[in-house]
Each structure stands twice: as C-alpha cells, then as structure tokens.
Amino acid sequence: MRLLRLLAGLSTVLAAAWAVDNGLQKEVTWDNGSLLVNGERVIIMSGEFHYQRLPVPELWLDVFQKFKANGMNTVSFYFFWSYHSASRGKYDFTTPGKDIQRLFDLANEAGLYVIARPGPYCNAETNGGGLALWGSDGSMGSLRTSDETYHRAWSEWIAEVGAIIAKNQITNGGPVILTQVENELQQTRYDPENTLVKYMIQIEDAFKEAGLIVPTSHNEKGFRGKSWSTDYNNVGGAVDIYGLDSYPGGMSCTNPNSGFSLPYTYYQWFHDVSPSQPEYLPEFEGGWFQPWNGFFYDQCQAEHSPEFADVFYKGIVAQRATLLNLYVAFGGTNWGHSAAPVVYTSYDYAAPLRETREIQDKFKQYKLLTLFTRVSQGLTNTIMETNGTGVAVDSSEIWTWVLKNRESNARFYLAQHNTTSSRAITDFSITVSTSGGDVTVPNLRLAGRQSRWVVTDYSIGNETLLYSTAEVLTYGIFDHPVVVFYLREGQTGQFAFKGSKNVTFSTYGAKNDIKTAPTGNGFTYTQAKGSTVAQFSNGVLAYLVDIPSAWTFFAPPTTSNPTVQPNDQVFVFGPYLVRTADVDGDIVSLIGDNVNSTAIEVYAGKGVSTISWNGAKLETKKTAYGSLTASIPGSEDREISLPALTNFKVADSLPEASPSYNDKNWIVANKTTTLSPVKPLTLPVLFSSDYKFYTGAKIYRGYFDGGSVTGANITAQGGVAAGWNAWLNGKFVGYHPGNASLQSTTGTFSFKGANLTAKNNVLTIVTDYTGHDQTSTGPAGVGNPRGLLGAQLQGGSFSQWKIQGNAGGENNIDPVRGPMNEGGLHGERLGWHLPGFDTSKWAAEGPVTDGVKGAGIKWFTTSFDLDIDQDLDVPLGIEVDAPSGTIARVLIFMNGYQYGKFIPHIGPQKRFPIPPGIVNTRGSNTLSLAIWAQTEAGAKLSTLKLIQYGKYQSGFGFDKIDGKSLQPAWEDRSRYA
C-alpha cells in the first residue's frame, strides 16, 4: 500500500510539472487531460444551481448535500445582477436570499467546488437575462458590446460581486476554482478591433481588478461558433479554458420515441477548437425549459428517464469530457417576476433534482457514473485510441469509444447503439486489449437505450481488474478493496483479476450463478434481482447489484475535500438518501432521509461495529463478510394533515377603474423622449421603465375631454402571454387575453354605451407582465419596453397620463423578498399579501364559491396552520384550476411571496410547489390570491387546495429554517395607493 501511495504521489508531481497555469496562481492548472486542483487531477462533475430560484438559505445546503450524495463534486452558480441591484449604484448581498457569502460557506460545508458565473449577462431564462432592470429604460447603452455607457454600468456590478467571489477562491481557502466570463457570446469576427473582442478584454480586466485570479472560462452556445479559445484564432479576449454548451436531447413531451440523439462529434470539436485544454461543457443538458402554452414538466417522460443519464452522460464522458456541468441539476422556481417571458413559474426543467427537491430516477442513474468517475483516476488523462461502428465488437449496430490512459495500460470502452434513440435489444461480444493480451468476452447486451462501460487494467487498490464487462460503480479501500459492480437484472458480466491465479470465492445474499469464466481466466455471472456479495481469496470483496439496488447505494465521504479518495468514504445500501457520514471509533454515524422502513447495510471497515442513523444508535449486526446491517425507520406511518383552504376574505383590487379614484400621488407620464432604442407609437412616452416601474402589472389612467370620442386603439407589451384590460369611467370597454406567441398586442375598442362627460373622462388600463426579454429577443432584449407602446383616441386626444406600478418603484421597499416580487396591482401596492395585514373588515367570499363577477380584479386572503413533525421533509404546493373557457390571470402569494402565476386560458401550470421557509410547516401561514377576470363572464376557481408531493423521514433539521427572517410583516403602505 505504501508503494502505491508513493507512486500516486510521484504521478501527481509529474502531472503538475507538465500542467499549464494562467500566470496568476498555481492552485488550479490544466492540460489536455483534465483540471489539476492543488496538483491533483480531478474530473469535475458539476450541477447548475440558481440560489435566486430558491430564496431559503437553509435549503441551499439541502440541495448541495443531495448533489454531493449523488456523486457531484462541484456546483455552478449564476449571479443575477437584476436580483442584487434594484437601482443604479445599490447592491444587496446581505439579506437572507441574497447572502452569497453564506452560499459559498454552505458549498464548502457540503464539500463542493464552485464554478462562479457572474455575467454580467447570464441568459438563464431569467428576467432580462440577469441584466439589471434599471437599465431597461435604455440607460445602459449598447448591451454586450464595448460601448462605454454599458462598460460603466456593468463594471460596478463586477467590482461588487467580484470582490466577494475573490475572497472565496481556492487560492484563499474557498471553493471557487473557475470563473466564467460573460455567457454564450459568439465571436463573430476574429479582429482585435471588433467590439466583442474589446468587450471580452474589458471583462477579463475587470475580473482581475476585482481580485479574480482562478482560471477563466466561457460558454459557447452550441456548435454555432468557435469563440474565445487560446487555441483558435486568438486575437484577444480568449479565456483560459474553452467551454461548449449543448442540449442535444430534444425534449419531447408528446412522443417519447422522438429526439434522444446524442452527437458523436464532441471529441472532434474540442480537438479542433481547444486541443491544449481539457474538454469542458459548462452547460450540458440536465433537462430543458417549457414555455407558456407548452407542457408541464411531469408530462415529459423521455427527459425524466434514467435512460437519458445512461446514454447521454456516459456518452459525453466517453468523448473525453472531464469537466461536465449539468444545466440545470436543480431548477427551482421563477417566483415573483424573476422569469423571462420564455418560461412560466416553474423552472423544474425536468432536472435530476425536482423543483420539490426530490431525487428523480435520472439523478440516481447519473450517480452510477459520478461515483465511477470519482475514483477512476485513469479517466483523468486519456487519449482517444479509437472509436466507431463495430470497433472492438462483433455487431455493426454498436458504436464503441476506446479511451486509453496516457500513463498506464488502463483502457475504458463504452458501448452504445449507433443510433442512441434505438430501443433494440442487441447482443454482442467485445475484444479488449489488456496488459495480458487481447481478451474476447461474449454475452454482452445493450437493451435499448443503454450504455455499458468495459474497463481493462483498472486499479482497485492493491489489486487490478485485468478486465471487467460488469460495470464498475465504484471501489473503496478499507482493510481490503471493496468493489461494487452493477448490471441490469438478467444481463451477464465477466471480470478477471490481473496476476491472480487459483482465486476462490464465497457468495452471500441474493442467489447468483457466479462461476469461473470459460475464457479470460476470470469469473462470469448473470445479474440476479437484488444484491450478491462475493468474497475472493485474494482479499477483494465484490458487490454484484442490479439497477434498483444500485440506485439505493451511496458512498458518502468522510472528508470535506471535494476530491474524494477511495479510502475517504463508507459504503451504504438501502436508504433514499445519505447526506453525511462520520466514523468515530467503533461508530459510523450517518445522516440521511428515508421513505419506507428498510434494512440498511454499511461497509465501514475493520473496527466499526455500530451504525448511528440521524443521531440514534441502531441495533447493529455484523455479516460474515464484514459489513454492518440494521433497520432504519421510514415515514410510511406518519400522518400528515393538510387543512382545507377556506374562510377567505375579499376586497376589490381595482378601485382605480372608478373615475372618482384619487390618483394625486401617481406619477405623471409626460416624457416626450426616451433612451430606449424602441420608439413609442404615440406621445407621451408610456414605457413603464422610463418611470422606474420595472416588474409586475402596471396601471395607467389617461384623461381626456369631450363627449364625442368614439373609441381607442391600444398597443401594450408585457412579454409573451401578457394581456391587458381597459375601463372607461368605470365601465369595462376592452381587453386582450394575451398570446403565448406575441410580444405585443393591439386592440381597438368602441366607447359605445359609455357615459362620456365634457371634462375629465378617464381611461384606466391594466397591463400584465411576464418579464423583460433576454438579448435573444429583438430588437433590444431587456430594453424592449413594457407597459403601453401607444394609445390613440378616435375623435379626440389625451390631455394627461398617469402611471402606477409596484410600491416604491425602484426603491425596493421589501428588500428581503427583493426587487422583483411585486407588481402594481392595488392589493400589492398596499401590502395585502403580507403577513399581518388586517382583513377583519373585509367581506367573506371565496375564490371557488364566489370568484369575480364581471371583468375586474379581486383580492382573496385566508390563513391556515400546519404542524408537520420536525424530522419530516414534506414538500408542499398549491393546486389550482378553473372552469373551461375561463379567461383570467391569478397570482398566488404565500406569506408575502408571489409563488405562482396561473393563466388558465394559456397554461400549462396548475401545480405550484412552495418550499419550507416560504410556507411555515410548523406555524401560521397567510395565503392570498389576486384573481383578474378579463371578460364580463367573470372568473372563479374550480380547484384550490394544498397538496403534498412526498414524505421523507429526515435528519436534515428542517425545523431550523428561519422563516421569521424571510417573512417581514405588513407595514402601512397607504402612501402608495
């Protein structure tokens, strides 16, 4: 063992000597094989996480522990400028959901490296692509260029956020190992005078000025360009490590047989564009988003399938990728108005970790790869020895990738169908090269959408697998090597030990037919249901497990180092989740979650005799082969009582429609010029951003004189799916329901039947909002105006316009919930959604029993209590529906947070998850609904109820969530009426 460690240390020294650094630090270096962190090669298996989309800091650790438990060693963060800066020159990095120092600390606690992506532009289907919304009035200049106006704007952001990131770099003892410069910015010209080249240089200089010295990266948008690589036409602006994003799966929510096509061109692409660097995919398909009027994620079964992970993620590693970030690994929720118009409230994304924080089968399957790459040092520095149809196999239906380690005889073969979407069952044999000569192994099978690793000269401590067609899940070094193999039930595996002769074995557990192989001097078996243990006379202990058993296997580290060595872990079979492990004397202490009471098996090495689960010592038995077994509790017998949502109070949330409404405190909209690159259709300018109202609904009151006006023409723009309504002197006169394909909508309506007066007629218009655009939406991205683009009278002209939006405009009067939570509806401005607002004088009506009569907006509020046991994780949500044909807009507020937007005539979302901390699982809650009926038919709900997604006995400590700090109570807002 000492010799192995000396050789490993020598290999590390030699690798570090050949590696490249950026001249600013030596903690993170690289070559064509992989990153080296502190001189040690590592395969980065990362997941994208957006803390903005989960504004409960305690739950960040919950997500990070689930990433780590499923084999990831890194988390990638976007930092959205829009979330932290409500107005020019002001930044918030301290309120709970924006405390990014805490974010870094929790990532460190979970044992994860961090890839930091501060923009300034992010995309990410977030409002304005992450650009500060105070620049949506055109004041930021020419976006994503070297324009000096834009330069001045974003430089301040990078200085502010960069200083915090810099303190958390690995060079300062923190977790940050990479920083990304901009995002998906395609290099269109290889010219040092090009504005994009200058822009990239500006950002890189700003990173350095902020103290960011770890390597930089970028994110190429698919196979659309060859941008910013030092190895390809570098005229300036190149980053240290080139990155390519890719979403090749083709999300189909109607036909599970469509899409599912993995390109076999990644290796060649990187070979051409960045041959001196490791292959990095900053965004590889963890799922895909769905638009308004699209599908809900639960319908998209192909994307949720564990087959996706088995084919796509193995397939990209087999093409030599050693830095892989799944976008997204956890999506979260577009609460408030944090979404760009291209998505609705949910950002579940069909990600491996569901929006409810539940582990999908796709994540369980991905874990079989991440735990393999974690201990497979041979994969960190390979050459592509060969690849192609029929390579090393006897079937023309199969494509094989063959990677060879540069420093040893270790090889990694991956067999996939030529057509990755194939559901064919294909039997084949494979001929592999080993240090002992070529070996042909028969009886392999690909059962449809499946990939299979075959390894040769694969070290497992002081023993080496000469070859194995049983897939290696992982191995550990305890008092002897323990290796875990997995196969689908009924499939055949074969393996042999290098240099070992006359090896005998004993088996335990599920009945299995393991026997000496007729060829290759090894052992062969057909995978049985469950788990079999084979104890070999050379000291190796092998678990032979089927896929369901592999999904319940965990290898929790006993170190906080993100790079986990084979001797820094314990093995656990059985639970839903193992978060952490610790060995102290003869006790192995596990913290985790479980669904149903189950047996647990732990391999922790010699001297350990007792299992502790979530702080309780268990009655522990020892098996004949040295593992420990016990029983752990589940949640199946734990009763959860969810109250009915009744006892609502109601108030009118559109008093502004009345001609007698007092709007003396409103802003007069009288601008005749605008910085926006989009010109108004009429004057005065009615773009809401010009008056510092950025998010949510806006309300306009246009005054005119004369009784001969016959109608009006209105053009509004609130983002796709946004609609609007108009009232003249209190009478409903027109609307547009919104359209999921139209950015702006126009309506012409008659004033026939309205009571016009000689003086001071008032046209009240309420415009909805689905976010500011990303730069991919022309003509101006985030600068595309919101509110009214134009308003004309037929037979007259407006004498004055007034506008009202969210309370306080850009003053961010509720900094905890942040600058995007509220819009300009009457109830929002007065804080009716906030805990503690007094509704005792309101009438008793309900959103299901009564609803809204005619076109209008009503506000419904109730309260309810929950008492969920503190050792349970019970993901909750609100389910709503409306009668067919209802044309309406519904906002759902929980304890002051707008956590759902339901548009029944557009859809698709009807279920809205709400995390603990936003909903109080042990205490009182305030629920508000704003129902905006867009037609005279009115609107009410047919369904409104609390729902439970799952139930998990947990040692996480959900009772420690500080809901009080997240839920500031109501204060008087009458000045914003």
Enter the tokens of residue 125.
């289907």
Superfamily for the 378-579 domain: Beta-galactosidase, domain 2 (2.102.20.10)
pLDDT of residue 130 exceeding 90 = yes
Bridge partners of 622? Answer: 628
How big is the chain by its Cα radius of gyration, in Å? 30
518's tokens: 């007729």
Fold match between domain 28-359 and domain 378-579: no
Q: DSSP assignment, residue 358? A: P
* Strand 113-117, strand 176-180: pairing: parallel
Band (511; pLDDT cuts 50, 70, 90): confident
pLDDT for 243-295, tens place per residue?
999 999 876 788 888 889 999 999 999 999 999 999 999 999 999 999 999 99
CB 931 within 8 A of CB 860: yes
**Cα–Cα distance, 359 to 353 (Å, whole number):** 5
Q: How confident is the model at residue 380 (pLDDT cuts 50, 70, 90)?
A: very high
Residue 30 has pLDDT above 60, yes or no: yes
- When pLDDT is cut at 50, 70 and 90, the band that residue 519 belongs to is confident
Do residues 175 and 104 make contact, with C-beta atoms less than 8 angstroms apart?
yes
3-state secondary structure of 179: strand
**Superfamily of chain region 28-359:** Glycosidases (3.20.20.80)
Lowest mean pLDDT segment, chosen from 291-295, 591-595, 753-757: 753-757
Read out DSSP for 125-145? TBGGGGS-GGGTTTTT-STTS
pLDDT digits (tens, 9 = 90+) for 853-884: 999 999 999 999 999 999 999 999 999 999 99
What pLDDT score does 710 carry? Answer: 97
Look at residue 6 and tell me whether its pLDDT is greater than 60: no
Q: Over 70: is that where the pLDDT of 759 sits?
A: yes
SS3 per-residue string spanning 50-108: CHHHCCCHHHHHHHHHHHHHCCCCEEEEECCHHHHCCCCCCCCCCCHHHCHHHHHHHHH
For residues 124 and 115, what is the distance between their CA atoms, to the nearest angstrom?
15
DSSP 636: T
Helix-then-strand count for the chain, H and E: 14, 55
Q: Are 579 and 389 in contact (CB under 8 A)?
A: no
Residue-level pLDDT at 2: 32
Residue 892, strand partner residues:
900, 929
pLDDT at 479 (0 to 100): 92
Q: How far apart are the first and last CA of the chain?
A: 75
> Which tens digit of pLDDT belongs to each residue from 712-723?
999 999 999 999
The pLDDT of 901-929, averaged and rounded, is 98
**pLDDT at 8 > cutoff 90:** no
Residue 17 pLDDT: 62
Residue 364: in which H helix or E strand, if any?
A: helix 361-375
Can you read off the two tokens belonging to residue 231?
A: 């190895």
Task: Tell me the average pLDDT across 7-30.
Answer: 74
Three-class DSSP category at 561: coil
Under a CB-based contact definition with an 8 Å cutoff, are residues 323 and 280 in contact?
yes
% pLDDT > 90, the chain: 94
Confidence of residue 16 (pLDDT cuts 50, 70, 90): low
- Give the pLDDT of residue 889: 98
Cα–Cα distances (Å) from 158 to 365, 552, 815, 882, in that order, read 38, 43, 21, 45
- Indicate left, alpha or beta for 926 from its phi (over 0: left) and psi (-120 to 50: alpha): beta
How many CB atoms lie under 10 A from the CB of residue 865? 10
Asked if pLDDT for residue 219 goes beyond 80, the answer is yes
Residue closest to 527 by CA, chosen among 572, 583, 488, 497: 488
Q: What are phi and psi of 172, to 5 degrees?
A: -110, 20
Q: Is the pLDDT of residue 560 over 90?
A: yes
DSSP 288: -
Which 3 state secondary structure label does DSSP give 475?
A: strand
Give the mean model confidence (pLDDT) for residues 604-618. Answer: 97
The pTM is what?
0.97
For tokens 């599920």, the residue is 510
Flag whether pLDDT at 9 surpasses 50.
no
Helix, strand, coil percentages for the chain (3-state, nearest 5): 20, 35, 50
CA atoms of 111 and 919, how far apart (whole Å): 29
Binned at pLDDT 50, 70 and 90, residue 520 comes out as confident
CATH topology (fold) of 671-804: Jelly Rolls (2.60.120)
Task: Please provide the average confidence, as pLDDT, over all residues in the chain.
Answer: 96
pLDDT digits (tens, 9 = 90+) for 630-646: 999 999 999 999 999 99
Percent over 70 (pLDDT), the chain: 98
Domain residue ranges of the chain, discontinuous segments joined by +: 28-359, 378-579, 671-804, 814-976
pLDDT tens digit string along 494-503? 999 998 788 9
Which of helix, strand or coil describes residue 111?
coil
Element (H, E) at 963: helix 963-966
Per DSSP, the three-state class of 426 is strand
Q: Within a 10 A sphere around the Cβ of 539, how many other Cβ atoms?
A: 15
Residues 6+ apart with CB under 8 A from 790: 680, 681, 682, 686, 713, 714, 715
Return the pLDDT at 392.
Answer: 98
The CATH architecture that domain 814-976 belongs to is Sandwich (2.60)
pLDDT at 14 over 50: no
115 has which bridge partners? 76, 178
- The catalytic residue positions are 184, 283
Of 903, 887, 893, the residue nearest 927 (C-alpha): 893
Report the alpha-carbon distance of residue 77 to residue 118 in Å, rounded: 8
Mean pLDDT of 880-908: 98
